[in-house]
A and B are shown apart, each in its own frame.
Chain A
């Protein structure tokens, strides 16, 4: 794919700017997802995506505080190793009949990817301060993975045929 490996941060400031970009993009994507579900009257999943958006916004704002800022920085267009940011969900994973379980599976996948990203950085050949900051962020993402796993246990697992619509809005003609 055309997005190449992201540049490795050499300072804590660079690291925080990158972490901010990751959380900001993840929050924006959840907002996109919520809007898609709202347009398609899937309010239950829309609300869940809104919750996930708020969680990512909170994390984003926490990083903003660590950066010593009160106003958002201009987010650089980072290039990631994968096609999307390390915590950003792919548009193609959505379905208009999806259920909370599916939304949480997407969130779990994203949190796992974010953990892997920061964990790898924590082991990379970067200045010790950057490694320490990455380790801290990886721990936070590990906590998120745990929380999402607990959350998934509380929602029903979709039955086979969950995506079958008896009155499909777009039946082939």
Chain B
């Protein structure tokens, strides 16, 4: 056995000693498992990976890994992740969170992160509800969902369509995965990390507490019937017309990654600070 093989890490090496406090049955356990499998598959080292999140149930995820982690402020995970990647392009940066964090509070960051196309991977565990605050409608909640006391007759609002927004805003890799398929999800995450630029993976991850009906998602999901395309107009047609349960990589583009030069020639923090001196 050579030294490299001996040093290869297993998925469990990416799991920390902190035990998740998610509800048993939650899809996020599975997503955590998929992320650690993807890291192991890519032969990453814990010291070369940073997991950044916002606020919400799924945003607890950095604490459950042995990688560098940053549990940020609500909706601002992508801003933190972008800054980190620009300052440390050598790191693999994975940003993770939920649908409320990413599409509502962080909706503007989402669009502009797609547009910038910095080389990072954004995973959204979408359960179509705010779980941590006890079950309110999120941007992806169906308009007729009546189980929240805040919206007893449903929101009546059209759902946010994150994949379409990601495509229109310039994300370079777009995929949908399902937490009930942890091995398949691990493959998609690995491919997202491998693909240069901004990779967006929407993971359908049931909330068994506030959306128990989502347990049936396992019967609804199916493989996307077509191979990924690099043609945005074709991807748009597919994503706009799919049933929301197509699983797989849907779009892989060829946009140039945004990475401004750092180090020599760039203004240092002290120079910038001097500019603000009164």
- Contact flags (1/0) for A33-48 with B, using CB distance below 8 Å? 1011111100000000
Q: Is B27 an interface residue (CB 8 A)?
A: yes
Q: Is A28 an interface residue (CB 8 A)?
A: yes
Are A98 and B24 in contact, CB atoms less than 8 angstroms apart?
A: yes
Which of A39, A78, A80, A90 meets B21, CB within 8 Å?
A: A39
Residues 1-23 (chain B) with a chain A CB within 8 angstroms: 5, 8, 10, 12, 19-23
Taking residues whose C-beta sits less than 8 angstroms from the other chain, chain A's interface range is 20 to 34
Taking residues whose C-beta sits less than 8 angstroms from the other chain, chain B's interface range is 35 or more
Are B223 and A2 in contact, CB atoms less than 8 angstroms apart?
A: yes
- Contact flags (1/0) for B21-39 with A, using CB distance below 8 Å? 1111111011001000100
Task: Contacts A28-B12, A173-B149 given; indicate if A1 touches B181 (C-beta within 8 A).
Answer: yes
Q: Is B178 an interface residue (CB 8 A)?
A: yes
A149 to B20, CA, bound (A): 31
A1 to chain B: which residues have CB within 8 Å?
A: 178, 181, 184, 221-223, 247
Residues 210-241 (chain B) with a chain A CB within 8 angstroms: 210, 215, 218, 221-223
Are A92 and B25 in contact, CB atoms less than 8 angstroms apart?
A: yes
Closest to A4 in B: B184
B223 to chain A: which residues have CB within 8 Å?
A: 1-2
A74 to B33, CA, bound (A): 17
Minimum CB–CB distance for A2 against chain B, Å: 3
Are B29 and A77 in contact, CB atoms less than 8 angstroms apart?
A: no
Are A36 and B24 in contact, CB atoms less than 8 angstroms apart?
A: yes
Minimum CB–CB distance for B26 against chain A, Å: 7
Are B248 and A2 in contact, CB atoms less than 8 angstroms apart?
A: yes
Q: A32-B33, A92-B206 are in contact. List 8 more A-B contacts (CB 8 A).
A: A1-B221, A39-B21, A40-B24, A92-B179, A93-B25, A95-B24, A96-B24, A172-B149
Closest 4 CB pairs of A and B: A2-B184, A94-B24, A83-B181, A172-B135
15 A/B residue pairs, CB under 8 Å, sorted by A: A1-B223, A1-B247, A2-B177, A2-B181, A3-B184, A39-B21, A77-B183, A83-B180, A83-B184, A91-B29, A91-B33, A95-B24, A95-B208, A170-B23, A170-B209
